[in-house]
């Protein structure tokens, strides 16, 4: 087994306050795992036996309704932890994690989580700050779902996506992973038909450019106008 390089973690805010030796200790407990696009990392309801750090790729956190409908709770970009609900007292995973693109992860047995939280300065703060950000996101999501029309929700969702996972291109800002109309409908509580119509309209007015599984926002300002 190859030793992992310490620079993998040293640049992440989460580990910024740790010294080389501490990072070494943490890395020596980690397992590296690679996942193809579309692979399931863990499923809702499973015993939460590992927690993960996403080194590269994107993770989609999804939930299923009893009726079998799926909704996407959030996307996790590289550098962030996931599967850490045990820090909030859960013993099973509260949602399913699927890869939105090819992913590279580190994983640790869950029993180390409390140790890390207590032993490493800044780690606990970082973890709970991550949780705080996600909770704030969820709250905004609820506010949107409860009060806004589909058009506004989709505009807000796209704006969030380009802010969190946007990549600059010649034409504008591109969402960094493959994303379908169906995916967006599962993020906004809508249908792929309605999303298709909306994106077609926005393409016509020059707000976005879109091809198969790819969306480039060419005029974010126009999107902001649609978002409220």
Distance CA 116, CA 215 (A): 39
Distance CA 130, CA 127 (A): 5
> Which of DNA, a second copy, none does residue 2 bind to, with CB < 5 to 8 Å depending on kind?
none
> Which of DNA, a second copy, none does residue 94 bind to, with CB < 5 to 8 Å depending on kind?
a second copy
Does the protein bind a second copy through residue 211 (CB under 8 A)? no
Helix (H) or strand (E) holding 106: strand 103-109
Does the protein bind a second copy through residue 17 (CB under 8 A)? no
Does the protein bind DNA through residue 31 (CB under 7 A)? no
Does the protein bind a second copy through residue 110 (CB under 8 A)? no
Nearer to DNA, 26 or 199 (CB): 199
- Name, in order, each residue with C-beta under 8 angstroms of 50's C-beta and a sequence gap of 6 or more: 42, 83, 107, 108, 109, 110
DSSP structural state of residue 11:
T
**Closest Cα to residue 73, out of 12, 11, 26, 142?**
142
Does the protein bind DNA through residue 60 (CB under 7 A)? no
Does the protein bind a second copy through residue 47 (CB under 8 A)? no
- Decide the pairing of beta strands 59-64 and 70-76: antiparallel
Does the protein bind DNA through residue 149 (CB under 7 A)? yes
Instruction: State the residues that interact with a second copy by CB under 8 A.
Output: 63, 65-67, 69, 71, 73, 85, 87-90, 94-95, 125, 128-129, 131-133, 135-136, 138-139, 141-143, 145-147, 188-189, 228
């Amino acid at each position: 087994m190859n030793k992992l390089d310490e620079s993998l973690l040293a640049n992440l805010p989460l580990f910024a306050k740790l010294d080389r030796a501490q990072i070494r200790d943490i890395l020596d407990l980690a397992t590296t795992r690679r996942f193809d696009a579309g692979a399931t990392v863990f499923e809702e309801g499973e015993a939460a036996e590992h927690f993960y750090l996403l080194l590269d790729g994107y993770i989609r956190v999804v939930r299923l309704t009893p009726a079998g409908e799926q909704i996407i709770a959030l996307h996790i970009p590289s550098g962030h932890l996931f599967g850490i609900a045990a820090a909030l007292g859960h013993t099973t995973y509260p949602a399913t994690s699927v890869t939105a693109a090819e992913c590279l992860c580190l994983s640790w047995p869950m029993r180390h989580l409390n140790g890390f939280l207590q032993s490493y300065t800044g780690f606990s703060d970082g973890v709970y700050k991550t949780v705080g950000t996600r909770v704030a996101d969820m709250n905004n999501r609820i506010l949107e779902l409860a009060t806004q029309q589909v058009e506004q929700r989709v505009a807000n969702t796209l704006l969030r996506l380009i802010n969190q996972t946007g990549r600059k291109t010649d034409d504008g800002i591109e969402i960094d992973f493959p994303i379908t109309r169906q995916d967006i409908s599962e993020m906004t509580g809508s249908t792929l038909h309605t999303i298709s119509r909306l994106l077609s309209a926005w393409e016509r007015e020059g707000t976005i450019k879109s091809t198969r599984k790819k969306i480039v926002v060419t005029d974010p300002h126009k999107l902001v106008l649609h978002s409220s």
